[in-house]
């Protein structure tokens, strides 16, 4: 009996193992069927096989990437200027266009590092023609056949700066400006500056690579003087000095690096099938020398040298602390730093900043207002403020609006460093038709309004929430980070919260922190001569 029972148990065990094995094979088959198409190249490489995805997957991936690239271009491009509403061109029934500028035919697709793209990228002419525009063939042939290294007249070395543009005489050989204007009164011109890993901007005694070269400025001025409607495309991931462009162009559209198919997005923006809804992610100034880090970056004096005095490397002495970008420009304005500025662009802040952080126009207009503010407690983030913002399309065409919320934190002289204003939340609406509105919720955690103070908690360092009034500002498309000044008389664009001081030290950590942050280096000078955690610390 025992032997028979053992045999029966053995059959059950074998049957059970067979079912388990079958289930594992089925699960493995499902996983392979699902994952292999996605990771076929990686799997084939690991197995030493030729990496080859199916044609269907390749074509589907290319189609998706093309669609995404165009959408990113349409929604990410920033309309900086649109004097007289010359854009979109469909409004003026413009069909023929002149395209000037070497970079119009040889545009930057990305940075000089790992974001580089292949040569199959669609050029601007192809994209414009796909939207029904006719491009002046004579001028296009000139710029297309002119290589980037051919042009002269840059402010600094061509190879380093990326300032490549033909002399006016070269354009006149291809077609006179009078004949070009007879072809079309619209001139599209592209400016840009390239850079990336190991290719920072260049500064010399004569200028810098982020300003227009002499040929570029001459061409822009000539187009303006000839009476063209000038549309400037800014094909740069750098913040450039756009003074001459602001002065001579009727419309300015920042397009950044286009990728492979972004030019199609530029074309749909120009003809109005798409409405720009991007916002600047940095302050664009008229003069790079007003930046807090201008003289501490890319300096010939900031170099490591060997015993013979030969430079073997360089470094940047970051001495500006938190005051970079818009935090610098807005704080400097609050402190009256720009009060003595007066130039052709304006006085004070207006003479320094061309376009503030968060700036971006549209082909329509929007009206935003804070309709409600409530608080809630989050286990992960602690106390939070929830701002309910209503955005309404008050213009004549459909578009998307961007909601930006900034905060002014209390500041005490000698206390923890804080900028005049900080971005604390943002959101974007769906496409709104004229007359439509949408409610957007912006959540701000109290812990995100803290500042790190090396002297807090008896010198141990800690995040500190300063006590006092926190003034929240709802920005407009034109104000961006400068909303703290433009919102002074606005009631439905500001909200004030009075908060008590909190020092997040010891057991009282910020809700999202694993442990309370504290100084991890000595705060006093030691034998190495390093005074760490001191804003003026230097290696002596």
441 sits in the region (left: phi over 0; alpha: psi -120 to 50; else beta) called beta
Cis peptide before 88 (omega within 30 of 0): yes
pLDDT value, residue 154: 47
Q: SS3 of 228, please?
A: coil
Cα 477–chain centre separation:
15
pLDDT value, residue 91: 73
Cα 435–chain centre separation:
30
pLDDT value, residue 540: 23
HEC per residue, 252-295: EEECCCCCCCHHHHHHHHHHCCCCCCCCCCCCEECCHHHCCCHH
Kindly list the distances between the CA atom of residue 380 and the CA atoms of 362, 424, 442, in Å, as whole numbers in the listed order.
37, 17, 17
Specify the pTM.
Answer: 0.84
pLDDT value, residue 300: 53
Distance CA 507, CA 324 (A): 33
What is the full per-residue pLDDT of the chain (540 aa) written as tens digits?
Answer: 445 555 555 556 666 666 666 666 666 666 555 555 555 656 566 655 565 678 888 888 888 988 999 999 999 999 999 999 999 998 778 899 999 999 999 888 887 666 656 657 789 999 999 999 999 999 999 999 987 654 444 444 544 445 678 899 999 999 999 999 999 999 999 999 877 665 566 776 667 788 898 889 999 999 999 999 999 999 998 899 999 999 999 999 999 999 899 999 999 999 999 999 999 999 999 999 999 988 776 555 566 778 888 877 766 677 888 999 999 999 999 999 999 999 999 999 999 999 999 999 999 999 999 999 999 999 999 999 999 999 999 999 999 999 999 999 998 888 888 999 999 999 999 999 999 999 999 999 999 999 999 999 999 999 999 999 999 999 999 999 999 999 877 789 999 999 999 999 999 999 999 999 999 987 554 333 333 333 333 222
User: What φ, ψ does residue 384 adopt, rounded to 5°?
Assistant: -135, 145
Do the bridges between strand 366-378 and strand 382-393 make them parallel or antiparallel, or are there none, so unpaired?
Answer: antiparallel
Contact in structure between 355 and 280 (CB atoms under 8 Å): yes
Residue 494 CB partners (closer than 8 Å, separation 6+): 370, 471, 472, 473, 474, 487
Which residue is listed with tokens 């409610």?
A: 439
Distance CA 74, CA 71 (A): 5
Burial class (CB in 10 A: 0-12, 13-18, 19+), 515: exposed
pLDDT value, residue 525: 41
Distance CA 201, CA 291 (A): 14
Distance CA 320, CA 328 (A): 9
Distance CA 452, CA 518 (A): 9
Contact in structure between 198 and 228 (CB atoms under 8 Å): no
Helix, strand, coil shares of the chain, percent, nearest 5, are 30, 25, 45
């Amino acid at each position: 009996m025992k032997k028979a029972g053992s045999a029966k148990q053995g059959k059950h065990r074998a049957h059970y193992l067979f079912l388990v094995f079958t289930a594992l094979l089925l699960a493995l088959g499902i996983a392979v069927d699902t994952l292999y198409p996605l990771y076929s190249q990686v799997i084939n490489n690991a197995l030493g096989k030729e990496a080859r995805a199916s044609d269907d997957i390749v074509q589907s991936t290319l189609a998706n990437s093309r669609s995404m690239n165009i959408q990113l271009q349409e929604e990410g491009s920033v309309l900086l200027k649109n004097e007289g509403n010359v854009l979109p061109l469909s409004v003026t029934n413009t069909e023929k266009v002149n395209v000037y500028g070497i970079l119009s035919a040889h545009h930057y697709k990305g940075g000089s590092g790992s974001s580089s793209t292949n040569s199959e990228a669609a050029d601007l002419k192809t994209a414009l023609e796909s939207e029904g525009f006719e491009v002046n063939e004579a001028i296009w042939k000139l710029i297309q056949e002119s290589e980037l290294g051919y042009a002269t007249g840059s402010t600094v070395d061509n190879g380093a700066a990326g300032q490549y543009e033909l002399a006016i005489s070269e354009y006149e050989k291809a077609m006179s400006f009078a004949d070009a204007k007879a072809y079309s009164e619209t001139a599209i011109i592209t400016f840009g500056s390239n850079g990336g890993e190991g290719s920072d901007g260049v500064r010399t005694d004569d200028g810098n690579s982020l300003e227009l070269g002499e040929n570029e400025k001459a061409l822009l001025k000539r187009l303006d003087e000839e009476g063209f409607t000038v549309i400037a495309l800014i094909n740069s991931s750098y913040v450039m000095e756009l003074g001459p462009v602001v002065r001579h162009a009727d419309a300015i559209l920042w397009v950044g690096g286009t990728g492979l198919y972004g030019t199609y997005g530029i074309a749909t923006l120009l003809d109005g099938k798409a409405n720009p809804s991007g916002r600047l992610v940095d302050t664009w100034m008229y003069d790079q020398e007003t930046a807090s880090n201008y003289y501490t970056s890319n300096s010939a004096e900031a170099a490591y040298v060997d015993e013979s005095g030969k430079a073997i490397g360089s470094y940047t002495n970051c001495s500006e602390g938190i005051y970079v970008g818009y935090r610098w420009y807005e704080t400097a304005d609050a402190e009256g730093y720009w009060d003595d500025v007066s130039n052709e662009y304006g006085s004070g802040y207006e003479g320094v900043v061309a376009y503030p952080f968060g700036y971006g126009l549209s082909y329509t207009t929007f009206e935003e207002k804070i309709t409600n503010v409530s608080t809630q407690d989050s286990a992960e983030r602690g106390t939070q403020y929830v701002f309910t913002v209503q955005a309404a399309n008050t213009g004549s065409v459909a578009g998307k609006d961007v909601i930006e919320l900034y905060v002014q934190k209390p500041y005490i002289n000698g206390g923890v460093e804080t900028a005049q204003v900080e971005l604390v939340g943002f959101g974007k609406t769906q496409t709104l038709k004229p007359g439509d509105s949408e409610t957007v919720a912006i959540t701000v955690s109290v812990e995100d309004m803290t500042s790190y103070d090396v002297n807090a908690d008896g010198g141990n360092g800690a995040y500190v929430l300063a006590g006092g009034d926190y003034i929240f500002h709802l920005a407009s498309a034109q104000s961006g980070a400068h909303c703290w000044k433009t919102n002074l008389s606005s009631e439905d664009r500001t909200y004030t919260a009075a908060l008590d001081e909190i020092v997040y030290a010891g057991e009282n950590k910020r809700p999202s922190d694993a442990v309370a942050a504290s100084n991890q280096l000595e705060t006093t000078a030691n034998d190495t001569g390093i005074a760490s955690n001191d804003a003026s610390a230097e290696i002596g």
